[in-house]
A and B are shown apart, each in its own frame.
Chain A
Amino acid sequence: RKEVEQDPGPFNVPEGATVAFNCTYSNSASQSFFWYRQDCRKEPKLLMSVYSSGNEDGRFTAQLNRASQYISLLIRDSKLSDSATYLCVVNLGGNTPLVFGKGTRLSVIA
């Protein structure tokens, strides 16, 4: 079983749509959780951290369910500029490196 598994994608949605990505992780000792965004031919960049209570940043909402080892990202009112690959990332903490999911590709179309 892969350590971090994500929706296979790709997701093709119209502008203004709401889209949700799901992710599960296998190591229950994972401490930190993130969503990274990677544009085509660019490096990954942190989109947002995911906190136990859930958190929101503008049109983006992240949720964490530790019992189910499940993370989600919701994007409301999709923009063309949201088109990218979204990477689910977990960390065990203590100076250990990040573990990346394979990513879910999103295409927002006009």
Chain B
Amino acid sequence: SAVISQKPSRDICQRGTSLTIQCQVDSQVTMMFWYRQQPGQSLTLIATANQGSEATYESGFVIDKFPISRPNLTFSTLTVSNMSPEDSSIYLCSVEESAGGSDEQFFGPGTRLTVL
């Protein structure tokens, strides 16, 4: 199974600043996703990070607020821009791997963001 690391694991940021979260996978993967999990809530997909092209954003999420990079098949970044307290959440990177005819999604350990 894919091993995923995220940096930073947590951060406390001031309103109006930006934070870039890094996601590194130990193998080449086609599909990488960024999710958000707000306190007491389930996971909400922000966008699919596409290698070599612009990310595909879900309804309610825009590139100006959450720019994403995907320079190769093992790495992606998510930036949370112009942060407000409402952006306080856990941000999770996820990859999809195919094995034995089925697809499984693996998650990174998450980045816990608190915006003051």
Chain A residues close to B by CB (< 8 Å): 32, 42-46, 49, 87, 91, 95, 97-103
Contact = CB atoms under 8 A, between A and B. Distances in A.
| Chain B at the A interface: SS class | strand
Contacts of A99: 45
Interface of B: 30-31, 33, 41-45, 48, 92, 96, 102-110
B102 A100 contact: no
The 8 A-B pairs with the shortest beta carbon distances in the complex, nearest first, are: A43-B107, A102-B42, A100-B43, A100-B42, A97-B45, A103-B42, A97-B33, A43-B110
A95 B43 contact: no
Contacts of A44: 43, 92, 107
A32 B102 contact: yes
A46 B48 CA distance: 20
B104 A46 contact: yes
Contacts of A95: 30-31, 96
B9 to A, nearest CB: 11
B92 A102 contact: no
A32 B91 CA distance: 24
